Amino acid sequence: MACGGAACAEGAQQLGCQRRKLQPRQHLFLQGDAQSHIYLVQSGAVCLYKLMRSGRRQIVGFKLPGEFIGLGHEERLRFCAQAMGPTELRCFALQPFLAAASGDPRFLLKLYESVSHDLSRAYELVLSVGQRDAGSSVAAFLLGLEARARAQREPTDLVALPMSRGDIADYLSISFETVSRVFTSFKKRGYIALLGRRGVRLIDRDSLRTIAMSEDSGMRRAAVS
Amino acid sequence: MACGGAACAEGAQQLGCQRRKLQPRQHLFLQGDAQSHIYLVQSGAVCLYKLMRSGRRQIVGFKLPGEFIGLGHEERLRFCAQAMGPTELRCFALQPFLAAASGDPRFLLKLYESVSHDLSRAYELVLSVGQRDAGSSVAAFLLGLEARARAQREPTDLVALPMSRGDIADYLSISFETVSRVFTSFKKRGYIALLGRRGVRLIDRDSLRTIAMSEDSGMRRAAVS
DNA sequence: CGGGTTATTGAATGATATCAACTTACGTGG
DNA sequence: CCACGTAAGTTGATATCATTCAATAACCCG
């Protein structure tokens, strides 16, 4: 599974590291910056996104507690990192971190697995953006979010949405209006319940799973009724 | 930058390995199979794709000579692998390969870098599929293919297309008819020349780059003239 | 050279974006 | 603690790009 907070934090402990707090919407770094650190999310959530010339943005991932930011490093950072809500991080200076990793196969294996999981999620995102219609994408997103949350916290049927409708839209490459329409449709069909703006309760997981897998949410059919 | 054929083959040499040849369209493995090997492409090209329930497929990557297949391994293979044309591979049994990797930081670092590059390409694909229109996606695809080819072979302005229009379509999540329309449009505008079905000459790279970056190919405007 | 596959081109449909108006939620200050 | 104001979310009407279906044309291997 994802580089578990436990195992990774263990290796991380041995490196001196600083803590850092981010306010909602505050940026950790911008694309084009030189990379100075590798970060480990402790609480809250961070999104990685690419700002396009058109002014739009593509979020390529949300980082939740226990996950690393900045692993697939290149010369210059290719993405912006922004806190979704109040967020706490650990910061590791790049050079010592990589030096420590290079000499420790067990640690390196952890990083390798962490990047592998990022890759899996990236492929999953490709499938959503490329193959699924809007409803199907959102269903898959909600189920994935729940699975990740369940792995970290005690199982609750209440899924926290650290990000806004617009953030979800920028991740799935649909408009925020469409995200909203899908939420409404799912609510009307009894699949989910919305709790304020930042919470969802998944009621009918089977239907959501079916929709997520079928690549067809039946939005239009359900809408007429 | 991708795990260079040279360096990786070096590490690979030390493991006993078999060779394997694939005919065009022949499958190396199917999604759901247990993973038995890790492969290194020697010649030809292989695509990795996910077969969807709808019957459509999403190609998530093309593997060219010098690149590994099967690195981000999980319990079951999540993708199908199919040869685009005549293809030669090296095959490494999974367990010995991983055992060797686990004990060798330098080798492990190579694998880590290889997966990191897969991740970069996956993100690039997300950007294409999510942000670019059809023409822009194809332009970015052609330029990327040329860059990869140039890194391997001697620089030629003739870019080989090991894959069909349908394969490109399934990679970029557009229809093969649209791929064809874009090729025709680019040809009419003097950006490219088509050489049979499996070759392209890039004539006006600057225009292609502009189109690839602008996320707007001006297909409709150009079409009227 | 011929048959079959692959590619191109055209016309109509459809899902989602966009634009615009309205409503709800939530934090702040009175 | 309530009222207000702003930002976020919802909902509706229309436009648009790409898909789909259909037919023709080009390529290539035997």
pLDDT tens digits, one per residue of A138-187: 999 999 999 988 887 767 778 999 999 999 999 999 999 999 999 999 99
The 3 state secondary structure assigned to chain A is CCCCHHHHHHHHHCCCCEEEEECCCCEEECCCCECCEEEEEEECCEEEEEECCCCCEEEEEEECCCCEECCCCCCECCCEEEECCCEEEEEEEHHHHHHHHHHCHHHHHHHHHHHHHHHHHHHHHHHHHHHCCHHHHHHHHHHHHHHHHHHHCCCCCEEECCCCHHHHHHHHCCCHHHHHHHHHHHHHCCCEEECCCCEEEECCHHHHHHHHHHCCCCHHHHHHC
CATH number attached to the domain at A132-224 = 1.10.10.10
Each residue of B38-56: b (16+ CB within 10 Å) or e?
bbbbbebbbbbbbebeeee
CB contact under 8 A, B119 and A120: no
CB contact under 8 A, B129 and A127: no
CB contact under 8 A, B173 and A130: yes
At what angle are helices B134-152 and B176-188 packed, to 10 degrees?
80
CA of B21 vs C1' of C3, distance in Å?
A: 29
Which residues of chain B from 168 to 187 reach within 8 Å of chain A, CB to CB?
173
| Domain layout of chain A by residue ranges | 5-126, 132-224
- Mean pLDDT, range A61-78, rounded to an integer: 88
For the domain made up of B5-127, give the CATH fold: Jelly Rolls (2.60.120)
pLDDT per residue rounded down to tens, chain B (225 residues) = 334 444 444 545 566 689 999 989 999 999 999 999 999 999 889 999 999 988 899 999 999 888 899 987 777 899 999 999 889 999 999 999 988 888 888 888 888 888 888 999 999 999 999 999 999 999 999 999 998 888 777 667 788 899 999 999 999 999 999 999 999 999 999 999 999 888 999 999 999 999 998 876 766 565 433
CB of B55 less than 8 A from some CB of A: no
* Bases in strand D with any atom closer than 7 Å to a protein CB: 8-13, 16-22, 27-28
The pair of three-digit structure tokens given for residue B215, joined into one six-digit string? 């996320």
- Residue A211 sits at the vertex; the CA angle it makes with A208 and A217, to the nearest 5 degrees, is 120
CA of A177 vs C1' of C25, distance in Å?
A: 17
Q: Would you state the pLDDT for residue B13? A: 55
CB of A120 less than 8 A from some CB of B: yes
* CB-CB contact of B25 with B83 (8 Å): yes
- Residue of B169, B183, B141 lying closest to B59 (CA atoms): B169
CA B87 to chain CA centroid, Å, is 14
**Cα nearest neighbour of B50 on chain A:** A127
Q: What DSSP designation does B32 have?
A: T
CB contact under 8 A, B73 and A116: yes
The pair of three-digit structure tokens given for residue B93, joined into one six-digit string? 């049994």
Q: How many CB pairs under 8 A join A and B?
A: 108
CA of A87 vs C1' of D18, distance in Å?
A: 40
CA of A166 vs C1' of D20, distance in Å?
A: 31
CA A76, A79, A83, A89 torsion-angle sign: negative
Q: What DSSP designation does B30 have?
A: -
Q: Would you state the pLDDT for residue B220? A: 56
Q: How does pLDDT run across A19-44, given as a tens digit for each residue?
A: 999 989 999 999 999 999 999 999 89
A71 CB-contact burial (10 Å; exposed 0-12 / middle 13-18 / buried 19+): buried
Q: Please enumerate in sequence order all residues whose Cβ is within 8 A of that of A196, keeping only pairs 6 or more positions apart, or say none.
A: none
- Residue of B49, B51, B47 lying closest to B67 (CA atoms): B47
Share of chain A above pLDDT 70, in %: 90
* CB-CB contact of A19 with A92 (8 Å): no
Q: Decide whether B5-127 matches B133-224 in CATH topology.
A: no
- The structure's pTM equals 0.89
CB of A195 less than 8 A from some CB of B: no
- Residue of A33, A30, A15, A38 lying closest to A94 (CA atoms): A38
Q: Would you state the pLDDT for residue B221? A: 60
Chain B residues with CB under 8 Å of A122 CB are 119, 122-123, 126
CB of A111 less than 8 A from some CB of B: yes
Give the distance between the most distant pair of CA atoms in chain B.
Answer: 62
Class (C level, CATH) for B133-224: mainly alpha
CATH homologous superfamily for A5-126?
Jelly Rolls (2.60.120.10)
Q: How confident is the model at residue A130 (pLDDT cuts 50, 70, 90)?
A: very high
